[in-house]
Amino acid sequence: MRHIAIILAALALIAVSSGALHAAPQRFDVPILDSPFIGPADAPVTIIEFIDYQ
């Protein structure tokens, strides 16, 4: 009984802590359109930068 209780507590803990600590980041869908880019078109990470050169 005690073992079951410990396992349940651990599972509950994991569930709670995952929720509290790793909330999914908000993602924005920014249309790339024909903007110029540097790096491979199929790169896994796309960084869109709004830039003011000055």
Partner 1 sequence: MLWAKSKATIVAALAVLMLAGCSAVNMASGDSGERGLSPLAPLGEVPIPKDNPMSEAKVELGRMLFFDRRLSGDGTMSCASCHMPEMAFTDSLPISLNYPTTRNWRNSPTLINIGYARTLFHDGRAVSLEEQALFPMMSAFEMNQNLDFMEEEIREVPQYVAAFKDAFGAGVTRYRIAQAIAAYERTIVSKNVPLDRYLAGDVSALSADAKAGMELFLGKAGCIRCHGGAYMSDGGYHANGVPENEMVTDDPRTAITVRFVAKVSGYEDYENLTEDPGRYLVTKRPRDWKAFRTPTLREVARTSPYMHNGVFATLEEVIEFYDGGAGEGNSERLAPLGLSADEKRSLMLFLTEALSGNEIEVKYPKIP
Partner 2 sequence: MDEYPGKIRLVIKFYPYKYRDFAHIAAQAALSARSQGKFEQMHYKMLAESPKLDKASLMRYASEIGIDAKRVAADIEKMTDSATIERDKKLATDMDLFNTPALFVNGRRILGNVPYEYLKKAIVEELDALGKK
20 lines the binding site for partner 1 (CB under 8 A): yes
Contact between 21 and partner 2 per CB under 8 A: no
Kindly state whether residue 19 participates in binding partner 2, applying the rule CB under 8 A. no
What burial letters (b/e) apply to 14-49, b meaning 16+ CB within 10 Å? eeeeeeeeeeeeeeeeeeeeeeeeeeeeeeeeeeee
Please list, in sequence order, all residues whose beta carbon lies within 8 angstroms of the beta carbon of residue 11, skipping any fewer than 6 positions away: none
The count of chain residues that interact with partner 2, using the rule CB under 8 A, is 30
Residue 48 binds: one of partner 1, partner 2, none (C-beta under 5 to 8 A by kind): partner 2
User: What is the closest distance, in whole angstroms, from the C-beta atom of residue 40 to partner 1 in the complex?
Assistant: 29
